[in-house]
Structure 1
């Protein structure tokens, strides 16, 4: 399986990542990645960029070193209602909105509360994709998440970093195996993400691919095989968003 897209990467702007967007793009180019997401953490993550970082992402060229770049965010779920830490006006124009749970940004709760938070975030019309549900920080109903992914056509990530670099990777692997089996059961859409925090991890999917093959996830479920497929999916998401333009301040720089 040829994977040409890595939508989940971080730069030094995230505060706990260690490479620039230029270094990440060069690494992507060497690995044959054609479409790269630049998804630094949302503002509730300590050390994350100020909102002006997201305001100014339009200065980044659409393409660098033959790699198309999608400036976006890994937004954080902040409560049991699935609210995100990015103001709505930013969600309306960022090119890629990944959403996930992080212990330092989300208070935690019961399995039911955590599952509700994750699913409510999936139901947000501005959410494009959900990331690392297999991490063991929060207990969740993984079958319900896979079923909701299929119902809403929201891709859920198989996160390579969860399987290779986090301290609790053995428990994460068990969780990832479980949700992968449910994604096969419900034919849910899937993305593979490196979650790279250093340039040498960009486009690294080997552990995620092993799990995909083990679980029997089919190639047609995986968006990463085609940049056009990803871009078509994102365009469809934007066409189906509610029209709230009248509710937003006409000037982006008015950051409250």
Structure 2
């Protein structure tokens, strides 16, 4: 059982999700989580959080239903220069940022162009996690990206929604395996993420957990149960 899930989405992310942050926290508490991160999509996603929403997040309660709450954002990469869809002012007041590519915001280029986009984006000090970069629609050079992540103090996620059957990112297993191999090679931690849109799958790592165990990835490099280390990592800018 893992104790934290920091890639989750509330009603502010759109996508038909109707769950409030309180709904998410209550579900996370019932499942035994100790730390929940709310990372709603940036304003570039249709019907997602506005700038005013992200401006208000630092004033929200830090504890709900007995568990600690962090407030972040899943940023959209907009171009190969690594521009994103939230201002520095707002980013710097959030607990962390996940950086991701989504087809409605970023037009996939060559392997080198996509890799360059990720590398430029993770240079922002608020960015701590590479979101679902196993997506087959955005091919990257994982060796180059892993070295950049190590340099910039950013980690990869292993995304439950990517590995679940029928995912819209294609068959991501080979990419996820490559990520885990390189993370072990460079002793780079990972985080398992549910990517839950709503409360149903909060803290659900069914396929991600099975995958990392099949590949014998060391638990010492999985941050989900290392809460003090995870909090320090997210706070380090």
- The alpha-carbon distance between structure 1 residues 42 and 169, as it changes in their structure 2 partners (threshold 3 A), is closer
Asked if 1 retains the 8 angstrom alpha-carbon contact of 2:96 and 2:126, the reply is no
Displacement of 1:214: 2.1
Asked if 1 retains the 8 angstrom alpha-carbon contact of 2:96 and 2:235, the reply is no
1:146 corresponding residue in structure 2: 146
2:218 corresponding residue in structure 1: 218
Displacement of 1:98: 1.1
Asked if 2 retains the 8 angstrom alpha-carbon contact of 1:43 and 1:49, the reply is yes
1:79 corresponding residue in structure 2: 79
**Residues 43-99 of structure 1: per-residue CA shift (max 9 Å, x gap):** 111111211111111342110001111111101111001111110100111112111
Which has the greater radius of gyration?
A: 1
Which consecutive unaligned segments of at least 5 residues does structure 2 have?
A: none
- The alpha-carbon distance between structure 1 residues 165 and 56, as it changes in their structure 2 partners (threshold 3 A), is farther
Displacement of 1:157: 0.3
Give distance in 1, aligned partners of 2:36 and 2:118: 24
SS in 1 for 2:36: strand
1:30 corresponding residue in structure 2: 30
Give distance in 1, aligned partners of 2:149 and 2:94: 22
SS in 1 for 2:175: helix
1:7 corresponding residue in structure 2: 6
Give distance in 2, aligned partners of 1:149 and 1:214: 24
Displacement of 1:155: 1.1
Asked if 2 retains the 8 angstrom alpha-carbon contact of 1:153 and 1:189, the reply is no
SS in 2 for 1:85: coil
Asked if 1 retains the 8 angstrom alpha-carbon contact of 2:75 and 2:97, the reply is yes
Asked if 2 retains the 8 angstrom alpha-carbon contact of 1:130 and 1:156, the reply is yes
Which runs of structure 1 show a deviation greater than 6 angstroms over 4 or more consecutive aligned residues? none
Which structure has more helix as a fraction of its residues?
Answer: 1
Give distance in 2, aligned partners of 1:143 and 1:174: 14
Structure 1 residues 167-182: aligned runs within 5 Å: 167-168=167-168, 171-182=171-182
SS in 1 for 2:196: coil
Asked if 1 retains the 8 angstrom alpha-carbon contact of 2:13 and 2:40, the reply is yes
TM-score under structure 2 length normalisation? 0.94
Which structure has more strand as a fraction of its residues?
Answer: 2
